[in-house]
């Protein structure tokens, strides 16, 4: 499949633990986005990568959240000292940045549950 | 301060009839408006978009209308089919920088046979 993939599909953890969520974007897509969708809400922007650098991390809720994209392809969202309020579906999207609409293609998401 | 709002959490329409989903926004710094469709356990899938300089875009059974003076857009699906049953998200793309998408809360559309 040539779409955006995310692993794991589900993650259950205990309050206070550390988690890593992985995103494999579509090959050749230079732009990568992380969004978070809480129950009954639409996705909310977290962070945007252009290549390897985090060009906009204004959506990260606090310093427990961090994301990397070291080689400009796969990205990992890292959450330290998880809290119950972090429970949500974390979505990754990728796109080309060539002008025009630059449609964002979404992965299936990782459902994170913090007990 | 929800910038994009979908005020109807759910909508039920009979098969063959027209479905109309509505969306309002408050920020003028958007250059595209998009509709995404989402099935359970899947990511949102792009459906149709409209540039902020247009007032209508049509693609098959789907038409999106944009009323800039009212800061309102709508998605029309005609005729509605059972496979259209899903959650629909309205999204607006910011002009500058990350071009991130700002989403509404979603409307669950159910098409009844």
Are A102 and A93 a contacting pair, CB within 8 Å? no
Hey, is the C-beta of B91 within 8 angstroms of any chain A C-beta? yes
Are B108 and B13 a contacting pair, CB within 8 Å? no
Are B107 and B21 a contacting pair, CB within 8 Å? yes
pLDDT of A110 > 70? The answer is: yes
Tens of pLDDT, residue by residue over B49-65, are 999 999 999 999 999 99
Hey, is the C-beta of A56 within 8 angstroms of any chain B C-beta? yes
Q: What pLDDT is attached to residue B99?
A: 87
Hey, is the C-beta of B86 within 8 angstroms of any chain A C-beta? no
pLDDT-derived band at A2 (thresholds 50, 70, 90) equals confident
Q: Which residues of A touch B97 (CB under 8 A)?
A: 48, 55-56
Tens of pLDDT, residue by residue over B71-110, are 999 999 999 999 999 999 999 999 888 889 999 999 999 9
Using a 10 angstrom Cβ sphere, with 0-12 exposed, 13-18 middle and 19 or more buried, the burial of residue A72 is middle
Q: What pLDDT is attached to residue A98?
A: 67
Q: Using CB atoms, pick whichever of A31, A42, A55 lies closest to residue B106.
A: A42
Q: What CA–CA distance (Å, rounded) separates B86 from B66?
A: 22
Q: What pLDDT is attached to residue A31?
A: 93
Q: Which residues of A touch B4 (CB under 8 A)?
A: 42
């Amino acid at each position: 499949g040539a779409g955006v993939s995310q692993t794991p599909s589900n993650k259950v953890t205990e309050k206070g633990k550390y988690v890593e969520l992985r995103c494999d974007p579509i090959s050749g897509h230079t732009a990568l986005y992380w969004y978070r969708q809480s129950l009954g809400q639409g996705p909310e922007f977290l962070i945007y990568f252009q290549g390897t650098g985090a060009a906009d991390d204004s959506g990260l809720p606090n310093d427990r959240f961090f994301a990397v994209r070291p080689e400009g392809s796969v990205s990992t969202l890292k959450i330290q000292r998880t809290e119950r309020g972090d429970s949500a579906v974390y979505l990754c999207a990728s796109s080309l940045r060539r002008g025009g609409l630059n449609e964002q293609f979404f992965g299936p998401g990782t459902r994170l549950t913090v007990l | 301060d929800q910038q994009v709002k979908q005020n109807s959490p759910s909508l039920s329409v009979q098969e063959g009839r027209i479905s109309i989903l509505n969306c309002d926004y408050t920020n003028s710094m958007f250059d595209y408006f998009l509709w995404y469709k989402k099935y359970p356990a899947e990511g949102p899938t792009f459906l149709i978009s409209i540039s902020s300089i247009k007032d209508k875009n049509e693609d098959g059974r789907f038409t999106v209308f944009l009323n800039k003076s009212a800061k309102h857009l709508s998605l029309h699906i005609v005729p509605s089919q059972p496979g259209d049953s899903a959650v629909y998200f309205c999204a607006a793309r910011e002009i500058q920088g990350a071009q991130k998408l700002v989403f509404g809360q979603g409307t669950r559309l159910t098409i009844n046979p």
